[in-house]
Amino acid sequence: MNNEQLDHLRHSGAHLLAAAVMELWPHTKRTIGPSIENGFYYDFDFGEVKISEADLPKIEAKMREILPTWKKFERFELTAEQAKQEFADNPYKLELIDEFAGAGQTLTIYQSGAYRDLCRGGHTENPAQELKHFKLLSLAGAYWRGSEKNKMLTRIYGTCWSTPGELDAHLQMLAEAKKRDHRRLGQELDLFSISPLVGQGLVLWHPKLAQVRNVLEAFWKELHYRAGYQLVATPHIANMDLFVISRHLSKYVNSMFPVMLHEYIEGESAPDYQVDEILKPMNCPGHIQIYQARPRSYRELPLRIGELGTVYRYERAGVLHGMTRVRGFTQDDSHIFCTPDQVIGEVRGVLKIMKDVYALLGFQDYQAYIATRPAQYLGSIEAWNFAEESLKQAAAAEGFAYKIDAGEGVFYGPKIDLKVKDSLGREWQLGTVQFDFNQPSRAETTEEEIDEFWKLKVFKQKFQTRENAARYLKRLGRGFDVRYVDSDGEGKQCVMIHRVIFGSLERFMGILIEHFAGAFPVWLAPVQVALLPVSEKHVAGARELARELAEAGLRVSVDEANETIGNKVRKAASEKIPYTVVVGDRELGGGNWTIRVRGSQDPLTLSKADFIARVQQENSLRQAN
């Protein structure tokens, strides 16, 4: 099947799920049931009925009982009144009917067997024959229309494929993914936690994972210094003015944490409006301020500014997910300020770094996507065409196969997104190269922009009247006017490029935990060598060996527990430590070591010096083993 046919098949699966639920619980209120990647879901309001994942086999059995009666999908057009009459007892469908009718859309119902549902269409032609290879997977809570102000519904997820082999392969992948879930491994391996007393979506890095982070950060810094980046640091908070000028506030206010309001700050002149500080949602305005701290010449360009900068963005509680969806995270954020003729070379330089980093971590399969000009955009068409063409040329020059995401660029510039496949074949978006036509420019505030800001609750609270808000906005303007003095002595606007390699360290670490199933390669492993004393009399000697290995740059632990060697070996294996050495008389007496290697049945026999040299070399080469 092609993608469209598979999408229709999965949407048909959502109808079948709803039909089964309605037979089992006739008073349930149906809402919507789309196809999604690899499957489908349907959201239900079960009222006072409580269902759990223990009910999924019953629902699935009912689906299989119904399916033979579904020979085709029939389409019926209805007026809004007819549709409302059919769904009179379902407020969710009535809301959709009013919305669709108000937009002038034709209302349609699709029927298969005895089941009818409000639907725009897109189904398989022969459901009884084609819709056989499905499996219900899980339950979750979901707010109606994605708003926390609305009722929490029950979402049932399923997967559907065109052949039994594809279904089996997907279910096997899901089983393996469950074993690798970074939240489970995070707890088992004592890597991280999230405390309700600290806050949802705020990660506590435990010593082991903090060690991995330190190694990764050191590698990142080394890589960027070699590539000509200048690393900086910016504060965690900033004045609201900064994000008004950048226009982040008007576009992303619902993702920003609340401002701190001060009527007056001691030692500063009292302005005619309150002074506000905001937890920064991004690093770029701060980097611009560093660039603008003094005049810049074309001779200084390109100027590459980088930071491992922590930012804060509000995410709804329902979408938070371990380390991969959080509220506080550290971006490997860098910004390049350059001239137009330097653009292609700079983009190529970023893509080279991406290739090297991803290959080093075992991500060999990746795809570039170039997102082009959307319907609403800032900047000239000439600037957009230039930037889009530069991205294409740079990607081609670095050997990146790319696809075009037409119209999917953000309002301030086109971009390249890099999506990699992990060891289970799952796709993750990591690196981004993004042009910015907004912040480096300078423009007067328009009436439309004033209206946009005035809709914000914080502006009404802060300024009381639109006139006050307008005066403030016009004083600040839009954009920072980021310029350099060219060889002709004229001031010219910089080209500004945003870029990340990891994205955020939190999300990237969650991906790495699952990619490696917690068994980090030697150079990243929090503990590289476990020393296991045979008895109490060997503990002091093992400690001395650990000190010697640590001085040589190895990360070592000593298991001093009063347990059998067998238990200690099993414990080291469960902690996924790359090398395990049992320390007895021979090892302390200068004899060769017998070293258990993670994932291998065959031990190594090496002298202490040769073993140290081996691990040092692995640290140096940074192999993705």
Cβ neighbours around 170 below 10 Å, total: 18
Identify the three-state secondary structure at position 497: strand
**32 vs 143: CA distance, rounded Å:** 12
Q: What pLDDT does residue 273 have?
A: 43
The residue annotated as part of the active site, out of 248, 335, 499, 596, is 335
| CA–CA separation, 597 and 10 (whole Å) | 45
Annotated active-site residue in 287, 498, 499, 576: 498
**CA 413/CA 491 separation, integer angstroms:** 22
Residue of 301, 325, 332 lying closest to 504 (CA atoms)? 332
Specify whether domain 529-621 bears CATH 3.40.50.800. yes
pLDDT greater than 80 at residue 270: no
- From the list 7, 43, 333, 436, the catalytic residue is 333
Q: How far apart are CA 418 and CA 415, in angstroms?
A: 10
Distance CA 378, CA 394 (A): 23
Beta strands 483-485 and 39-45, pairing class: unpaired
Identify the active-site residue in 11, 93, 123, 415.
415
How many residues in total does the chain contain?
Answer: 625
- For CA atoms 615, 617, 621, 625, give the dihedral sign: negative
Report residue 444's pLDDT band, with 50, 70 and 90 as the boundaries: very high
The residue from 119, 135, 160, 284 that is catalytic is 284
Establish whether 498 is a catalytic residue: yes
Kindly state the average pLDDT of the residues 457-475: 90
Catalytic, 403? Answer no
Distance CA 100, CA 103 (A): 5
φ, ψ (nearest 5 deg) of residue 322: 50, -125
Q: Nearest Cα to 405, choosing from 368, 350, 354, 355?
A: 368
Q: Is 332 a catalytic residue?
A: no
Q: Among candidates 93, 78, 84, 101, which has minimal Cα distance to 145?
A: 93
3-state SS class at 533: strand
Per residue in 547-599, pLDDT tens? 999 999 999 999 999 999 999 999 999 999 999 999 999 999 999 999 999 99
Q: Answer whether 480's CB lies under 8 Å from 437's CB.
A: no
pLDDT band at 235 (very low <50, low <70, confident <90, very high): very high
The rounded distance, in Å, linking the Cα atoms of 472 and 75 is 56
The DSSP 8-state label assigned to residue 268 in this structure reads S
What residues does 141 pair with on adjacent strands?
154
Look up tokens 């279910």; give the residue: 171
Q: Cβ(306)–Cβ(224) under 8 Å?
A: yes
User: Does residue 415 carry a catalytic annotation?
Assistant: yes
Q: Each residue of 317-356: pLDDT tens digit?
A: 878 899 999 999 999 999 999 999 999 999 999 999 999 8
Using CA atoms, how far residue 350 sits from 125, 146, 219, 347, 353, in Å, is 47, 36, 16, 5, 5
Indicate left, alpha or beta for 477 from its phi (over 0: left) and psi (-120 to 50: alpha): left
Give Cα 145 distance to the centre of its chain.
22
Fold of 204-355+436-515: BirA Bifunctional Protein; domain 2 (3.30.930)
Known active-site residue 331: yes
How many C-beta atoms surround the C-beta of residue 490 within 10 A? 9
Is residue 272 scored above 90 in pLDDT? no
| CA gap 252, 243 in Å, rounded | 10
With a pLDDT cut of 90, the percent of the chain lying above it is: 82
**Which residues make beta-bridge pairs with 76?**
109
Distance CA 622, CA 617 (A): 8
Q: Is pLDDT above 50 for 271?
A: no
Domain residue limits, the chain:
3-180, 204-355+436-515, 529-621
Same fold: 3-180 with 529-621: no
Q: Does domain 3-180 have CATH number 3.40.50.300?
A: no
Beta-strand relationship, 556-558 and 529-533: parallel
Q: Is 190 a catalytic residue?
A: no
Catalytic status, residue 284: yes
> Structure tokens of 620?
């140096």
- pTM over 0.85? The answer is yes
